[in-house]
Amino acid sequence: MNLPNNYLPVMPYLVLDKAYEFMEFCKYVFGATEQMIVPGQDDTRAIMHGELKIHDAVIMFANSNESWKQKASGMFIFVSNVDEVYKKALEAKSTSLQQPVNQDYGYSAGFEDPFGNHWWITQGE
């Protein structure tokens, strides 16, 4: 199998009512960078197709419309500092699902972002 550069075999694709705001949230909380942003035609903040990179991972996303309604998702992500990411997420109006705590699998926390997605973060080495 030959994958294009900058892509992985499996990537989430989120359909969001507020795609632009989601992009800004990911930049602030995770330090995400834009890989590709295709603007929508209706609005300067609408995104027809977007791609954000968090480390080597790519999250694809787009604005919802009449045919494609918003659906929440759940994601697991390794981060370098759970406390910092968790704090930024709460500052960005996320709701705590689990405060940072040591688990058998590592130092972890969880939150629901303002768009209904659940994020489970664990500190990587």
pLDDT tens, position by position, 84-101: 999 999 999 999 999 999
**Whether the predicted pLDDT of 61 surpasses 90:** yes
Answer with the residue of higher pLDDT: 81 or 41.
81
Count structural domains, the chain.
Answer: 1
Domain residue limits at 106: 13-123
pLDDT digits (tens, 9 = 90+) for 6-53: 898 899 999 999 999 999 999 999 999 999 999 988 767 899 999 999
**Does residue 5 lie within any of the structural domains?**
no
Cβ(89)–Cβ(81) under 8 Å?
no
SS3 of the chain: the string is CCCCCCCCCCCCEEEECCHHHHHHHHHHHHCCEEEEEEECCCCCCCEEEEEEEECCEEEEEEECCCCCCCCCCEEEEEECCHHHHHHHHHHCCCEEEEEEEEECCEEEEEEECCCCCEEEEEECC
**Does residue 2 lie within any of the structural domains?**
no
CATH number, residue 114:
3.10.180.10
**Does residue 17 lie within any of the structural domains?**
yes
**Does residue 98 lie within any of the structural domains?**
yes
Q: What is the pLDDT of residue 124?
A: 86
